[in-house]
Structure 1
């Protein structure tokens, strides 16, 4: 078992562009720890170029998912569990459909779609838009469904949910807690769908093992920064990295 893991790790580190993957994963971890979201937005444009869209989605889920659970204890106390679970339920329905799109779509089109999605959503988030009132079950479930479809096909399922919470009147700490819990719960359906589709390969596991420690380090640094940063600072920092990642995905 140990020899097999070591072999997968060696193969992952032999990838010529692994340093670029490592750098973007570290940045993604910082964003995740700082804001509770954005790791896929930062990772996917670059990882999809290095590994291909399908492998990048699976690698991102293996890196981000298990480590997201380490942030749950602190977030659970502030979380709006009822609304988060409705969102997660909608995502669980949409995720398998998105994975079907991932398997059938042309990789080049998916790369462009990933990068453009990142830039569009970064612009919406940067606009500071908010909606009034308390969202109902239909809006919550529909938002989750859209997030699942987008997450399964591009690996970037966060933007609809992020807009859902950032568009509310919740304070920054509550938004961060809700997003942490949502993504931690959503990881389960994501990994099940990807595994069932045969996308969690040995190469994907090796890449995830090689990159996960850097993501964990970034999350730790980001969490430390959250205690010091104002709400405006952490949102601007995340969006700057997100936009830069989207641009890089279109240029690579």
Structure 2
């Protein structure tokens, strides 16, 4: 990659980490389309590793607000979903993976825009966990299903609960991808170079949280994700 491409990825990772640490989700929806434009081969492992770092930091910060029961039931679905997601990575081409990213992001945007809000009962948590496992492992975008089912939580509780779920879920996804041979040295190297951008985004979220209410955060995530998807679609078509 060129220096400009490294700078572009670092910038979007900074913003995505800030969004993730502020809202509990959105890192993949914002960053995955941009990374796919630069090089789809870097997905999904690079972004999952970076998201894992963010979720560890946020889980520690919001540890007093966790919904451990809900997280446990969601993880029941996440494990089998991760197996299927790893299989999809193994069989999809680079272009196929890029189109999968577009499909997942646009589906999340439609559901968010329609305001669908399933109750966080056991069956819904397991189903959302499974969907998150498939989507998160295959495309690095596992947030939309969990955001839908947990959207009724207050800010700290939502951030902490989702971060705890994704901390464990991302570890499972990385293990599945490693077993499937879908983790390369290039992915690990890029993830290491992007650590300062992640830490900077996390630090910035402490200030952002003071000014952005949930409605503004949701609008920011939807707008940024839509823009990234449009750019990726244009590149794929052309």
Aligned residue pairs total 235
What is aligned with 2:32? 44
> 2:89 aligns to what?
102
2:62 & 2:226 partners in 1: Cα distance? 26
Q: Distance in 1 between matches of 2:68 and 2:225?
A: 27
Partner of 1:3: none
Matched, 1:164 2:143: no
Distance in 1 (CA, whole Å) between partners of 2:220 and 2:2 is 32
Query: Closer, same or farther in 2 for the Cα pair 1:67/1:30, shift >3 Å?
Result: closer
Partner of residue 202 from structure 2, selected from 201, 204, 219: 219
1:120 matched to 2:110? The reply is no
Of 167, 173, 179, which aligns to 1:196? 179
Q: Does 1:242 align with 2:229?
A: no
Q: TM-score, normalised by structure 2?
A: 0.90
For residues 16-27 of structure 1, the aligned pairs below 5 Å read 17-27=5-15
**Deviations 1:176-203 (CA, angstroms, capped at 9, x unpaired):** 2221211112121012112212222211
Bigger Rg over Cα: 1
How does the TM-score come out when normalised to structure 1? 0.85
Bigger mean CA offset, 79-88 vs 192-201? 192-201
Q: How big is the shift at 1:233?
A: 1.9
Preserved contact between residue 226 and residue 234 of structure 1 (Cα < 8 Å): no
Deviation at 1:67, TM superposition (A): 3.2
Q: Aligned-pair distance for 1:130?
A: 2.8
Residue matched to 1:60: 47
Give the conservation status (yes or no) of the 8 Å contact 2:76–2:126. yes
Structure 2 stretches lacking a partner, 5+ long: none
Instruction: Please report how far the alpha carbon of residue 102 of structure 1 lies from its aligned counterpart in structure 2 after TM superposition.
Output: 0.9
CA RMSD of aligned residues (A): 1.9
In the TM superposition, what is the alpha-carbon distance from 1:139 to its structure 2 partner? Answer: 1.9
| 1:97 Cα deviation from its structure 2 partner | 1.5
Cα separation, 2, equivalents of 1:71 and 1:218? 12
| Aligned-residue offset at 1:225 | 0.8
How much has 1:251 moved relative to structure 2? Answer: 2.0
Residue in 2 aligned with 1:87? 74
